[in-house]
Amino acid sequence: MVKWIKALVVEPGKAPEVRELPNNLKAFELTIHGYIETVETICPGCLIVYDGNYPLTQKPFKRADIQGTFIIIRVDNTEPVSLSKADLDILSEVYK
């Protein structure tokens, strides 16, 4: 497992930001300020990691569908990995 991954962090009232995060669940929890739930994005293989205190009933198609801070990562064989340049370009636009 890689120690750091490139993720997209989306905080309320701010533009999406590319950050290098430690590749572990605790770092994800600290970033989103809650317990982890995941849902697929519009990009196959990418997941939104969000605060489970605000459950989603369907796949989010825009930023307003998700409350609080969330991160977006790519998953390869159940392991979190860095987002690609193409992922970052698409997801930054979708969730701005």
Residue ranges of alpha helices (H) inside the chain are: 25-32, 85-94
Q: Which amino acid is at 41?
A: T
What is the pTM for the complete model shown? Answer: 0.92
Segments of the chain scoring below 70 in pLDDT:
1
List the structure tokens of 43: 């990009």
Please tell me the distance from the alpha carbon of residue 87 to that of residue 47, in angstroms, as a whole number.
11
List the structure tokens of 32: 């989103």
pLDDT number for residue 76: 93
Please tell me the distance from the alpha carbon of residue 48 to that of residue 78, in angstroms, as a whole number.
14
pLDDT number for residue 42: 85
Please tell me the distance from the alpha carbon of residue 52 to that of residue 84, in angstroms, as a whole number.
26
Please tell me the distance from the alpha carbon of residue 41 to that of residue 27, in angstroms, as a whole number.
20
Domain ranges within the chain, ordered by starting residue: 4-94
Please tell me the distance from the alpha carbon of residue 71 to that of residue 58, in angstroms, as a whole number.
17
User: What digits encode the pLDDT tens for the residues 41-61?
Assistant: 888 999 999 999 988 877 777
